A and B are shown apart, each in its own frame.
Chain A
């Protein structure tokens, strides 16, 4: 157990760091908003009012946060093992497909399975998510292919496969613009009347905390963190790096798949996938942002997913009331990740301001280029 004081300081530092990254993201977006003639203050007012302004809006935010919590936790599990599972996006698509296939198609074809439709749908999502993670994991262990490249290819294969299934075998004959819905027994009950928040949020919170406990309290979790921080030491200590890598990746894929599945079984009113995959796309990429803000800690993901969920929910208000395209919220997430890629932003800020740093870097580069040019010209003329 770490001393209490150092953990408190650590958590506080992280909170300030995350807020700083959020501030940087918002500041740069404000410039982008102003450049195109919109009003940043108005846009941000509606962004945050829409996300957190009233109780019912907050419930919707929590509903959007639910799948993000799981894709975030999935990325965090892999990141703790030293890998970047960009494939959470594709694993979430396949998870949603798994939920529709088992909780919709199978349960409606075989009515005797209907009472067990919910566990069946969840098992389908976790299983298909893990299956989609198997490819990059095996390629990494056997061939040394970097997981970022392989999992992006699997994302696009998942996209086209899901697209084919949703418009083909899984299409809803009555409403061709979406897949068939899961049977009523496979739907999580709505928590508050008129809200899209369902019981599924308990599942997401429980799995995130469980993932944290596995990482912190179990032998497997210890081995995963050891492989993540120092693979050579892990090998020396007798830990099988390939086995741990494989387990971590499959675990991550199963959690990401569940995240995609919860979009189907945990969110009214359609309980299905749109033909454009519109309600599933980006749930993985934004989960990466969620995990980064939480310092890749699956328990802290519960909180950071609410922030990103709020940006999702609020951006629906930013578009009609401030005219700013809702997708800008994703640019904010990207900028937050960019800011967080720099280690110890806070420490650097204490020494000198970011502005000074940028100026110093720019001027050093320009001076050096000129120096090289001058030297080159001197050699040329002499």
Chain B
């Protein structure tokens, strides 16, 4: 009951905000469309990572996975001549990177934070190298528009909305994974691996198997998010395309206390703040007064504020980030 009340208060406040914004000349519809686009990569990665962390593995390298998959997805799309093939390539490469992180965090007993930092630094170097090696042009690639993933126009009555099927997928995935986590035996095992890997192991659960599988799934979803960024949202790739969004996705996960449903909500909030920042930055009357570069840092400020408010109330799995060593 209290949850429902809070939810309706949040919705009312949001509607009021949209009404105020429409008074200054920002169209609520185009803002929402932009927010959904910005939300999608964050939501895909955050939902996967919250499951991963429930199983006890932290992957700080999501930002690197975003970067690498955004780039190779464009390559795949051009090779196969289809944006959807590019999305698949992105998901597969992301799954591979997640798998590597999973193996490092289990069998190799790596320090997961250090491994994630390594993945990110590798991506910061690999992506410019790949852009140069594949297309011979530094720092940017804009593919021909027919290999991009189109944004659908859905018409309901008189209103037509631009929306991507991957945004719908992201929104559907959150409740599905929530059900998996809390309604199935598999979910129980996942949570056991995060809370008490020793007990799970004694009960016959393969801790390493579950952790590697979740890390791979998290990587695949982050890869889908990265591919979405370049192929559907921006329509091309630049070497700093992720702009720290991997860490914003991590912030969603942490602020939600590893709950897939809540992290979807936070992903929307961050997506909206980003859409708002861009809209404000180009609004006549505002753009002359507020410096462009300072407006662009709004999403990061919002992220900090939200994490600072919510993180203190959360409880995290006991074995989160700890390598499990079998005796």
Contacts and interface: CB of A to CB of B under 8 A. Distances in A.
A368 B63 CA distance: 29
B160 interface: no
Contacts of A292: 114
A313 interface: no
Contacts of B229: none
Given A325-B132, A334-B121, A365-B212, A157 B126 contact: no
B247 A330 contact: no
B115 interface: yes
Interface string A339-365: 111110000100000000110111011
Nearest to A158: B297
A72 interface: no
Interface residues of A, number: 63
A206 interface: no
A84 B113 contact: yes
A161 B297 contact: yes
B103 A358 contact: yes
B293 A161 contact: yes
A334 B125 contact: yes
Interface majority SS (helix, strand, loop, mixed), chain A? helix
A143 B312 contact: yes
Interface in A297-334: 324-325, 327-334
A78 to B, nearest CB: 12
Given A149-B254, A153-B304, A160-B296, A342 B117 contact: no
B103 A328 contact: no
B251 A149 contact: yes
B122 A338 contact: yes
Interface stretch (A2-10, A115-123, A282-290): A282-290
Contacts of B169: none
A164 interface: yes
A369 B291 CA distance: 54
Contacts of B308: 139, 143, 145, 150
A227 interface: no
A117 to B, nearest CB: 27
Interface stretch (B104-112, B149-157, B194-202): B104-112
B124 A153 contact: no
Interface string A168-185: 100000000000000000
B80 interface: no
Contacts of A12: none
Interface residues of B, number: 59
A342 B108 CA distance: 6
B297 A160 contact: yes
Contacts of B304: 135, 139, 145, 150, 153-154
Nearest to A360: B107
A32 B301 contact: no
18 contacts: A84-B113, A149-B254, A150-B307, A153-B300, A160-B293, A160-B297, A168-B291, A327-B128, A333-B121, A334-B119, A334-B120, A334-B123, A337-B121, A338-B104, A339-B118, A341-B110, A341-B118, A343-B110
A36 interface: yes
A155 B64 CA distance: 16
Contacts of A331: 121-122, 125-126, 129
A146 interface: yes
Nearest to B216: A365
Interface of B: 60, 63-64, 99, 103-104, 106-115, 117-129, 131-134, 138, 206, 208-209, 212-213, 243-244, 247, 250-251, 254, 291-294, 296-297, 300-301, 303-304, 307-308, 311-312
Given A32-B126, A86-B117, A139-B304, A160 B294 contact: yes
Contact of A164 (B109, B291, B307): B291
B311 A143 contact: yes
A121 B296 CA distance: 28
Contacts of A348: 108
A179 B129 CA distance: 28
Contacts of B123: 334
B141 to A, nearest CB: 13
B243 A343 contact: no
A302 B112 CA distance: 26
A286 B120 CA distance: 11
B276 to A, nearest CB: 16
A20 B191 CA distance: 37
Contact of B125 (A328, A357, A364): A328
Contacts of A192: none
B293 A163 contact: yes
A358 B106 CA distance: 12
Given A153-B303, A327-B127, A330-B122, 9 more contacts: A38-B133, A139-B307, A139-B308, A161-B294, A285-B120, A331-B125, A336-B118, A364-B208, A364-B209
Contacts of A168: 291
Contact of B111 (A32, A335, A341): A341
A325 B244 contact: no
A31 to B, nearest CB: 12
A163 B295 CA distance: 12
A119 to B, nearest CB: 30
A236 B123 CA distance: 42
Contacts of B254: 145-146, 149
A324 B129 contact: yes
Which of A163, A164, A325 has its CB near the most chain B CB atoms (within 10 A)? Answer: A325
Contact of A334 (B99, B106, B126, B244): B126
